[in-house]
Structure formats: structure tokens, C-alpha cells
Amino acid sequence: MDAVIEKHAEPASPSALARRTRIGAEIRRRLVAHLAAGGTTDMAASTLQFGGSVYTDPARFAAEKRELFGNTPLVAGLSGDIPNPGDVILFDLAGPPILITRDKDRQLHAFLNVCPHRGARLVTECTAQRRLVCPFHAWTFDLDGALMAIPGREGFEGLDPATRGLTRVPVAEWNGLVFVQATPGEASIDVEGFLGNFAPELAQLELGAGQPVKSGVLEARANWKYVLDTFGESYHFARLHNQTLAPYFISNVAAFDRFDRGYRVAFPDVGLRALVGKPEAEWPPTEFAAVHFLFPNTILFIGSVVPGKWYIQVFRLFPGDSVGTTRTHFAVYAPRDGADDAYRAEVAQAYDATAHVVMTEDYRVAAEAWDALSRSPGARVVFGRNEIALHGVQQSIAQAIDMPLA
């Protein structure tokens, strides 16, 4: 059974671009209306309160690892991370070591990165491969996982090579996103069924046009859900980011939309203040900029590194070794076509600046909060109506593990 679904949007398709521009214009209209009203924001119907143990309970953490990181499709990268036949992605952060390959017919395959001979890590570097040769005794595999050669074949008499291929892991490629489900099996991933009404929103982002510029792993000493919450609200910009983001973005104003278990949220930059009271015909062209959350652990930001130059940031959050640690894979992408060295350098700088703010401000305060909550039994937290994006995320996670938010 084929575990791969291939479907690509054409890069820069006029209809997707037109749709993105229309959505960007709508978002801007809503943000300017909030500013015109004196700084209102999209709100949830009520506040949401629950125990700090949601972030500190090891049993809950174990259930999340099993259900969300073992049994849910996860973003393993963008198509641009594995553009050509022979390219590979190594994906270890969800738990099992996973190897993704693109074969000569451009199909993706995913396997446990474990040699069926005696368990060596089959591929150790993210470099292009014509075939996969185990570093231990040189068993050799095709990019589709079939065992091609066993040196000293007579030592394995009676062993059928057809039964010793690599262990498959479900994988799918959809509109520039690569998904895997980090549990071995032959099942296929129904991406559109999984995304529901978020699928058209993500398709129009044309993530397939992104080419990687820089990536790394950011460590946080806090629960992964606490870390995730830091991406969904701008209420903290004025205080926590007073020297870094607050000069550029207006705090506590957001245009929020929920799509099944995902969301899109946009925050106004200070330049939008100048549009208040001005006829829309006089506004400058729209630059689409929004944060997208893909359940359960991925944040995609599409915006401009400078006006007219779009780029992508992808944050994928994974539980660390304990309930109080998180590993974030952070990557930035420039357009594959039309980004020269200077453009790519600007995107790399955006990576450095963002990683610095995230590590020294967001993840620092998250670590302090998590430490305090973990040592304060009975502590409770409350999401404001203004922290609207956080409500649905924590509710969806609680529902997926069948443990109520209490």
C-alpha cells in the first residue's frame, strides 16, 4: 500500500496570490477598525480557568506524547527541505528516529532510521544519497526502503531480502508541507481530513515556494504547551517585549480566526495607526502577515522581512525528556525564485533576531512560570477573553488526550 499522497500547488499561482491578498486586506481592515475603536481586540466569549497541573502533570505529559506526538500527523518540514530525488530529512524530535527520503520518481517515503540488520542509525547526515548504505556493515537500501545488497551474503543464507526492507512510517506531502505520523505502519495520512476547513487557508500560503535559509533547535525549560501559548497572544508585547517588539507592534490588538483545531491570528504593526481615519483607497498595498497554528504543535508565520520581501518562519514544538522541557525546531525560508543573496541574508538575520527574542524573553519567562507552577500545588491560571487563541488550543489538546481542563 502506498503511504504517500503527492499534491502540489503551483508556486505563485495567481488564484492563491489573489486570495492571500484579499485575506490580507480583510485582516488589515479589521485591525484598523480595532485601532479606530481605541485599541479593541477580538475576544473569546468568556475567560478560561484551569489548574497549573495541566502544564506540570507527568501523566498528562505521557498521554500527550502518546496521542499527539505518536498518533497525530506532524509537520516534519516543508517540501523545500527535501526538494530533489536523493534528498533526506532526519526527524528525531517526535520520539523515534525517522528518515524521510525522496525517490527518483519524486515520491516521499519515511522509515525508522534503524538498520534491520542490527539497529545502527542508517543515515546520520542530512546530505543527498543515491542509496542508503549502513555505516556499520554496509547493508544497502534503495530510496524506497527496499534492501538491495547484503555484503557477505552467504552469512545470511535463508534470509529473504524482500522481508528485510526498512520499517515504514506514514508520510504525506501536501501543498508544500511534509507530514509524518511518528508510529511505524503502512497507513496513509488523510491530510485534508485532518486539517478540515483549515486546508484551503494553508493551501493558499504556497508553502511549497519556500527554500530553507537557516534552522536550529531552541531549548526551553518549560512544558511544551506553556511554550506554545507564548506564540498566540500579543497581550504580553508591551511589558515582556518592551524593548524588542513593542516599538514595532501594537500590544493586545488581534484579528483572530479559528479553523477546526487550528487558528490564524494577526497583530497590527505600528504603521497601521496612520491608516485610521484615512479612506481605504489611499492605503498602501497589503502585505500579508499572519501567524497560523497547525494542531498540535506547529506555528507558521508568513510575513515580510522588509516591505515587498515575504518569508516564512516555522516553529515546531516537541516535548523534551521531561514534562518541564521543550525542544523547538525553528526554521526560516525565503522564496525559491527571486531571492538573491542579500534577500536571504535578511531572512537569516530575521532568524537570529527572532531566536534571540524568543530565547531571552519568551522562553525565559516561560521557564520561570513553569518552575513556579510546578512548585505551587493547586495554583490556577486564567486566560483572558483577549487571549482568545490560547483557549481553543488547550481545549483541543485536552480533548485529544481525553483529560478535561480542570
Give, in degrees to the nearest 5, the angle at Cα 81 between 79 and 83: 60
Compute how many other C-beta atoms are within 10 angstroms of the C-beta atom of residue 384.
17
C-alpha cell at 12: 505563485
- Supply the minimum distance, in Å, between the C-beta of residue 157 and ligand FES: 17
Name the binder of 362 from Fe ion, ligand FES, none, CB < 5-8 A by kind: Fe ion
- Supply the minimum distance, in Å, between the C-beta of residue 358 and Fe ion: 7
- Supply the minimum distance, in Å, between the C-beta of residue 387 and Fe ion: 12
Residue closer to Fe ion by CB (options 81, 362) is 362
Name the binder of 117 from Fe ion, ligand FES, none, CB < 5-8 A by kind: ligand FES
List contacts with ligand FES (CB under 6 A): 115, 117-118, 120, 134, 136-139
CB 293, CB 65: distance < 8 Å: no
CB 190, CB 73: distance < 8 Å: no
Residue closer to Fe ion by CB (options 173, 362) is 362
Single out the segment in contact with Fe ion by CB under 5 A; choices: 38-46, 136-144, 312-320, 361-369. 361-369
- Supply the minimum distance, in Å, between the C-beta of residue 66 and ligand FES: 28
Residue closer to ligand FES by CB (options 110, 132) is 132
Name the binder of 255 from ligand FES, Fe ion, none, CB < 5-8 A by kind: none
Bridge partners of 171, per DSSP, are 180
Q: State the pairing for strand pair 6-7/171-174.
A: parallel
Residue closer to ligand FES by CB (options 106, 153) is 153
- Supply the minimum distance, in Å, between the C-beta of residue 269 and Fe ion: 15
CB 206, CB 39: distance < 8 Å: no
Residue closer to ligand FES by CB (options 149, 274) is 149
Single out the segment in contact with Fe ion by CB under 5 A; choices: 39-47, 98-106, 187-195, 362-370. 362-370
Give, in degrees to the nearest 5, the angle at Cα 315 between 76 and 226: 115
- Supply the minimum distance, in Å, between the C-beta of residue 55 and Fe ion: 17
Single out the segment in contact with Fe ion by CB under 5 A; choices: 68-76, 82-90, 170-178, 360-368. 360-368
Residue closer to ligand FES by CB (options 59, 149) is 149
End-to-end CA gap in the chain: 42
Amino acid at 67: E
CA-to-CA distance for 233 and 393, rounded, in angstroms? Answer: 12
Bridge partners of 6, per DSSP, are 173
Write down the residue that cell numbers 534492501 correspond to: 147
Residue closer to Fe ion by CB (options 197, 360) is 360
DSSP-based three-state secondary structure for 226: helix
Residue closer to ligand FES by CB (options 139, 330) is 139
- Supply the minimum distance, in Å, between the C-beta of residue 138 and ligand FES: 6
CA-to-CA distance for 356 and 353, rounded, in angstroms? Answer: 5
CA-to-CA distance for 117 and 165, rounded, in angstroms? Answer: 10
Name the binder of 345 from ligand FES, Fe ion, none, CB < 5-8 A by kind: none
Name the binder of 254 from ligand FES, Fe ion, none, CB < 5-8 A by kind: none
CB 366, CB 230: distance < 8 Å: yes
Out of 191, 362, 388, 393, the residue judged to bind Fe ion by CB under 5 A: 362
Residue closer to Fe ion by CB (options 147, 250) is 250
- Supply the minimum distance, in Å, between the C-beta of residue 139 and ligand FES: 4
Name the binder of 115 from Fe ion, ligand FES, none, CB < 5-8 A by kind: ligand FES
C-alpha cell at 204: 493558499
- Supply the minimum distance, in Å, between the C-beta of residue 99 and ligand FES: 13
Q: State the pairing for strand pair 147-149/140-141.
A: antiparallel
- Supply the minimum distance, in Å, between the C-beta of residue 137 and ligand FES: 3
Residue 160 Cα distances to 136, 362, 397, angstroms:
20, 53, 44
CA-to-CA distance for 313 and 334, rounded, in angstroms? Answer: 9
CA-to-CA distance for 396 and 112, rounded, in angstroms? Answer: 29
Q: What is the DSSP letter of 69?
A: H
Which residue is nearest to Fe ion, using beta carbons? 362
C-alpha cell at 247: 516599538
Residue closer to ligand FES by CB (options 116, 232) is 116
Residues that bind Fe ion (CB under 5 A): 362
